Amino acid sequence: MKSDLIDAVARTTSHRDRDELNAAVAKLLFDHLEPARVTVYRLLGDGDDRKVQRRVSLVAGGSQEGPAVGDPAALPRVTEMPHWHECVLLKDVAHFSPSSVADTGDRLCSVFPVFGERDVSGMVEIESSGRRACLKPHEVHLVNGVLRILHNHLAVLDYGERDQLTGLLNRRTFEASFGKLRERTRELARTTGSGSASWLAVLDVDRFKSINDSHGHLFGDEVLLLLARLMNDTFRIIDQVFRFGGEEFVVVIDGADESGAARAFERFRAKVELFRFPQVGRATISIGYTQINPDDIPASAVARADAALYYAKQNGRNRSDCHESLVRAGLIARKEERSEVELF
């Protein structure tokens, strides 16, 4: 039993992809505890406004449910379920009986916190029934031990996936996860049918070299750090923000049509324009953005956004421009598309 558990933990921590890791954790607990269901949740946002997003759920019989999809605004808050709120507030396991079941005498659920760098970043919910109507103390201890290993593994992953200055996702993470961006685009097209899509923006600090030359690299770094905080405060909790290097960043937003994407990026540009950076004062950004296509490769999407960014730089800076809109207006040429399959 112990050797099997050690082997299972070793297999689980071999995963680098977050979704694969969530699925592996659920399977490990399912195999060793034999419950009716194991569900892994991710917490999005801060405080009591945090939303709860299902990442994977395993049920008896071997069926598996994937992440919750749809409008992020429709996700439940952590405060909507007393057991979720208790788990996150006390940072400890919470036990409860499912209230939706008329006869709960043979069913009991336990929800465990998953810790991130500073706070609870997720939850694991285990539902038991029948002869496994509740977890035994040594099983609770086992779950907590597995989740501590998961926490340590996630800390290692974060170190490799995050930019050390800003804490944003790094370029290597973007390139490794681009396939998921395409999948989300296909899923949005299939489920919404309303023109919603994923959008990729490349943004750049205007005249950043002059900031470094005039004020020094220390204050230049402070501009980048504060800009990263503004991005985290402005974009939605489901949006992804990457630092590509230097003063260049990439933002990916989901579930928006072209006008919605334009409003999101223009809102951020205007927010930066009004912000006063210590010592430096006013700094502006230029943004180029494009829709992510189902068959895109990272280079093709970034190239289109870069073309729009170049247009913004050449036409006054401190503006946001859409590649598709510029092409329709005849202001730039359409970038040659490259398919997912490239020969050389």
Task: Report the amino acid identity of residue 27.
Answer: K
The two tokens of residue 36 are: 């009716």
Q: Are strands 51-59 and 240-245 parallel, antiparallel or unpaired?
A: unpaired
Answer whether 208's CB lies under 8 Å from 226's CB. no
Selecting among 86, 139, 247, 336, the annotated active-site residue is 247
Q: Is 342 a catalytic residue?
A: no
User: Which residue's entry shows tokens 């959008």?
Assistant: 199
Give the β-pairing of 248-256 and 320-322: unpaired
CA-angle at 23, arms to 74 and 30, nearest 5°: 110
Calpha distance 211→215 (Å, rounded)? 6
Distance, in Å, from the CA atom of 252 to the CA atom of 240, rounded to the nearest integer, reads: 5
Residue carrying structure tokens 């490799």: 160
Residue 29 near residue 143 (C-beta atoms within 8 A): yes
Catalytic residues: 247
